[in-house]
Amino acid sequence: MSVDLATERSGVIKWKGAPITLVGPALKTGDKAPDFRLAAADMSTVSRDDVIDHGKRAALLIVVPSLDTGVCSIETAKFSRLVAELPAERIKTFAVSMDLPFAQKRWCVAETVSNIDMLSDFRDHSFGAAYGVRMKERGLLARSIFIISADGTVSYVQIVPDGTHEPDYDAALAAARSAAGT
């Protein structure tokens, strides 16, 4: 899988007020969701088709720079509580970061999070570049949310304008409910 390092976008996000360059395309609702290779907790490879269970469910992807930072930890723990009400058979929630799977697992145990699967883009950065959220200056993923419908299309995109701020939880959950058909 090739990583598109040619497309760079500026003016989309900031980090503590400083401009950040995003690498990759600007995905929008209705686009075919790009494939990716992410590492699961057991180091197995997870693809786009895996997260949507080959067309059987939608996937809510919560993308954070690193679980070992305050805002990312707060956000992911809060989503863990909020997504508990979603029908798991119709939409599954994943947190995606550059953290190693071992660090993700450690964080889940410490925060008692069990209803969000952790995925890491540490191997080849295919997710960050394919979804246009790799921060060039930081080498991390930009805080964002994507929903992939069961048919493999992007049904929701939220790129948080300042990477040190939390996302719009209500908008993301409304989109997740819609993707789940509830």
- Positions marked catalytic: 72
In a 13 Å sphere around the CA of 101, the CA atoms on its Cβ side amount to 12
- CA 158/CA 48 separation, integer angstroms: 18
Residues 6+ apart with CB under 8 A from 162: 13, 14, 15, 16, 17
Give the SS3 label for residue 28.
Answer: coil
